[in-house]
Amino acid sequence: CRVDAASADGSTALHQASMMGHLACVRELVGAGADVSRKDKEGRTCLYVASEMGQHLVVEYLAGIKSVCMEKDNNGWTCALVAARNGYLSALESLWEAGGKELLLMTAHNGASCAIVASENGHL
């Protein structure tokens, strides 16, 4: 079994475990050599999908082992932007600890920032 085998959308088992918040599976996959920087066809890393779904324990773990916080998806969105858009403060705090102020100030291709997307969605 290839640990980084991808589905049609480019996601791997690590993407799926991260998205669902299965921290034990995430740890096992990373321990078996899964690539935490691998992107799906939309340009999303496992840290990105965990952030998007508010899986703060997975976010904390992944951000702590490899800094992929600054990676952007195909639309220029970062893991911090999607966490802010969805109001996932715990995930955003973990990302801030790993990526600092620079991460929170990054913008998407459309100019959206963490503060803008959080306020547009009623999270400020």
Q: Which residue carries 């997307």 as its tokens?
A: 117
In a domain, 1, yes or no: no
In a domain, 6, yes or no: no
Each residue of 2-40: pLDDT tens digit? 999 999 999 999 999 999 999 999 999 999 999 999 999
In a domain, 3, yes or no: no
The domain that holds 59 is classified in CATH as: 1.25.40.20
In a domain, 112, yes or no: yes
Each residue of 47-67: pLDDT tens digit? 999 999 999 999 999 998 867
Domain that holds residue 28: 13-120
From the list 27, 100, 17, 81, the residue with the least C-alpha distance to 55 is 17
Higher pLDDT, 66 or 108: 108
Q: At residue 110, does pLDDT exceed 80? A: yes
Q: What are the φ and ψ backbone dihedral angles of 11, each rounded to 5 degrees?
A: -80, 150
In a domain, 93, yes or no: yes
Number of domains in the chain: 1
In a domain, 4, yes or no: no
